[in-house]
Amino acid sequence: MLVVDDDPALAEMLGIVLRSEGFMPSFVADGERALSAFRDTRPDIVLLDLMLPGMSGIDVCRAIRAESGVPIVMLTAKSDTVDVVLGLESGADDYVVKPFKPKELVARMRARLRRGEDTAPELLTIGPPGRQINIDVPAHTATRNGAEVKLTPLEFDLLVALARKPRQVFTREVLLEQVWGYRHAADTRLVNVHVQRLRAKIEPDPERPEIILTVRGVGYKAGTG
């Protein structure tokens, strides 16, 4: 795994904690070298501080997301909507607000890494007839009209969760639990931002979604036409 943080004390402490939990972290202190370090080490997960010298965490996040779907967890000192939403929109899967408890961080990271357990062959479709997205769950691919849609693992999980029960309305809290692995409801903005990102990739017109519908005051459901 890769940790991008400019504070040496925090980085060292993170190293101690993460190693004791069985991770093998490598560290980089500024944004500019983060991308090359990412290409060198090919980590399974990236822990990224939002405030960095050189290139900002947001830009690093965008750059990594442009070439990989690797899980990214942001570390942020700000819990303001603007900062969090900006971070999520730039491609982060989850975020942890400083100061965090080590257990919390490890739980978040494990939740993001816990994948590929279900290997039973499963083919799903979502969306109204004619605009359907076909999902091959074990292969982790989603296709529209035969062409593959590039989704990050998190977006894929979100889509699968909705597609598995097309008639059910999912509250944001339920999605947080199923997709993100939060046991207690956390920040529903995570769901909102990722649904927006997912819609931008799969909806013919993201302004008038047909595949993932909003149920006002409740949550989201799969569109079946």
Tell me the closest approach of the beta carbon of residue 192 to other proteins, in angstroms: 8
Complex with other proteins: residue 157 or 187, whichever CB lies closer: 187
Complex with other proteins: residue 69 or 213, whichever CB lies closer: 213
Tell me the closest approach of the beta carbon of residue 11 to other proteins, in angstroms: 9
Q: Contacts from 171-178 at CB under 8 Å and sequence distance 24+?
A: 171/218, 171/219, 172/219, 172/220, 174/219, 175/219, 175/220
Interface ranges with other proteins (CB under 8 A): 7, 9-10, 13-14, 16-17, 20, 51, 75, 77-78, 80-82, 98-103, 171, 173, 184-185, 187-189, 192, 216-218
Going across the sheet that includes 147-149, the strands are 123-126, 133-136, 141-144, 147-149
Tell me the closest approach of the beta carbon of residue 126 to other proteins, in angstroms: 24
Start-to-end CA span in the chain (Å): 42
Complex with other proteins: residue 13 or 139, whichever CB lies closer: 13
Tell me the closest approach of the beta carbon of residue 167 to other proteins, in angstroms: 18
Complex with other proteins: residue 82 or 147, whichever CB lies closer: 82
The stretches of 21-100 forming alpha helices (DSSP H) are 31-41, 57-67, 81-89
Query: What is the Rg, in whole angstroms, of the alpha carbon atoms belonging to the chain?
Result: 18
